[in-house]
């Protein structure tokens, strides 16, 4: 779903008119189980640890403005392709960094807070997300936990119009320079976890851009405008953990799924489904696969690797945990002919932080030669 119309975007922007373009989507990640906060603010603080997260997503490497798919559109619209090397690469690139912390009251996890920064470049457009939010947690009688979360996002969109290709260079409706616009959007989510189902199960429902915003890229000499409208996104994520997988105490299984869709003026578009399974050995090495399905057809197959370096004492009882993850996505649609695949590198570091108790200071004075035992 995300960025699938990239080639059409380049062609359409070349014929731009005073029109609003919709179905602008959020970035996607293959390691979605380790980046739940981008989709659902209710997950803030759920791990009970302070966590740093960094991710780099390089999508469709080798996909550029000289690919056969784009050349076919150039020929259709009579566009002469004379781009330099700086303009050729239109493959999406997403980079993100985030931090989350639990809120503890008398030893109880009552919520959490988080902040994240994401830069998402798609073609000649860059979207910058600066997001912050928090959650409130309530523990049920059976030990399960339900969390409610909200977030606010400062979203900035910038278009590098200097790289646009156009049929008529004198068209007054074409944007010039590098116009940008920014707006605030809000999100909300619900996250439920139950340690009694298997060895821990979870289910989350959330939505971003609850208040859709229209971004204006301005226009050329004629004052024409290009408008891009964000739409509400709906996410459903779920999964569980099973220890002693296949009767082997060294193995654990983590199956998960993610459903995402966009709700625009024309209704809900076809949902995209990610099905994922990871097997971890001795808490050190992980491997698995992810299948991404859009509509009735497969979009990509991903191979995932994970490593938990033992230098921090990684383990179920450790108060520190470092994970390095890598995935390679092989696109199975027509983009495969023009792309070397998608690479994603992800790093998580979680740790505990406790405020030491204030020591009791005993003051002695020579005036008191004999101390009462009650003073000690």
Residue 256 lies in a domain: no
Say if residue 76's pLDDT is above 70.
no
In terms of residue numbers, what domain contains 110?
6-186+210-231+315-354
| Averaged confidence pLDDT in the chain | 80
Tell me the CA distances in angstroms from 181 to 10, 19, 129, 190, one per residue in order. Answer: 19, 16, 12, 30
Rg (C-alpha) for the chain, rounded Å, is: 25
Say if residue 185's pLDDT is above 50.
yes
Phi-psi region of 266 (alpha: psi -120 to 50; beta: other; left: phi over 0): alpha
Say if residue 241's pLDDT is above 70.
yes
Residue 289 lies in a domain: no
Tell me the CA distances in angstroms from 366 to 139, 361, 370, 371, 376, one per residue in order. Answer: 54, 17, 9, 10, 16
Say if residue 110's pLDDT is above 70.
yes
Say if residue 363's pLDDT is above 70.
no
> Averaging pLDDT over each range in 40-54, 261-275, 308-322, 351-365, which range is the top one?
40-54
Residue 75 lies in a domain: yes
The model's pTM is 0.80
Residue 195 lies in a domain: no
Residue 85 lies in a domain: yes
- Of the chain, the percentage scoring pLDDT greater than 90 comes to 46
Q: What is the mean pLDDT of residues 79-90?
A: 54
Q: Read off the pLDDT of residues 265-313 as tens digits, 9 standing for 90 and up.
A: 767 788 899 999 999 999 899 999 999 998 767 778 999 999 998 776 5
User: Cβ(287)–Cβ(279) under 8 Å?
Assistant: yes
Residue 76 lies in a domain: yes
- Look-up of token digits 């625009």: 264
Q: What is the mean pLDDT of residues 68-74?
A: 54
Residue 286 lies in a domain: no
What pLDDT, on a 0 to 100 scale, did the predictor assign at position 12?
35
Q: Look at the chain and report how many structural domains it folds into.
A: 1
Residue 307 lies in a domain: no
């Amino acid at each position: 779903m995300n960025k699938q119309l990239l080639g059409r975007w380049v062609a359409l922007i070349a014929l731009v008119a005073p029109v609003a373009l919709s179905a602008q989507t959020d970035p996607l990640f293959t390691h979605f189980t380790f980046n739940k906060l981008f989709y659902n603010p209710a997950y803030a603080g759920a791990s009970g640890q302070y966590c740093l997260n960094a991710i780099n997503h390089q999508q469709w490497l080798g996909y550029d403005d000289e690919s056969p798919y784009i050349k076919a559109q150039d020929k259709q619209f009579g566009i002469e392709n004379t781009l330099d090397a700086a303009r050729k690469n239109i493959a999406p690139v997403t980079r993100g960094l985030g931090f989350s912390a639990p809120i503890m009251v008398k030893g109880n996890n009552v919520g959490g807070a988080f902040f994240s920064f994401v830069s998402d470049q798609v073609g000649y457009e860059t979207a910058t997300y600066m997001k912050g939010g928090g959650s409130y947690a309530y523990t049920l009688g059976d030990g399960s936990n339900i969390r409610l979360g909200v977030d606010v996002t400062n979203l900035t969109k910038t278009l590098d119009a200097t790289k646009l290709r156009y049929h008529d260079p004198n068209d007054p409706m074409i944007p010039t320079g590098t116009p940008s616009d920014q707006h605030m959007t809000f999100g909300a989510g619900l996250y439920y976890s139950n340690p009694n189902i298997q060895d821990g199960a979870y289910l989350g429902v959330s939505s971003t851009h609850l208040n859709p915003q229209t971004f204006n890229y301005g226009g050329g000499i004629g004052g024409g405008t290009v408008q891009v409208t964000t739409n509400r996104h709906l996410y459903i994520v779920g999964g569980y953990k099973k220890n002693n997988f296949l009767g082997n105490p060294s193995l654990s299984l983590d199956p998960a799924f993610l459903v995402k869709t966009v709700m625009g003026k024309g209704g809900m578009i076809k949902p995209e489904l990610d099905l994922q399974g990871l097997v971890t050995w001795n808490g050190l090495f992980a491997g698995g696969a992810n299948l991404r399905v859009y509509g009735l057809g497969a979009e990509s197959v991903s191979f995932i690797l994970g490593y938990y370096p033992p230098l921090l004492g990684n383990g179920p009882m450790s108060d520190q945990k470092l994970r390095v993850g890598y995935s390679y996505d092989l696109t199975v649609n027509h983009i495969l002919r023009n792309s070397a695949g998608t690479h994603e590198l992800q790093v998580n570091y979680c740790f505990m932080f406790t405020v030491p108790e204030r020591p009791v200071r005993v003051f002695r004075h020579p005036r008191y030669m004999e101390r009462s035992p009650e003073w000690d």
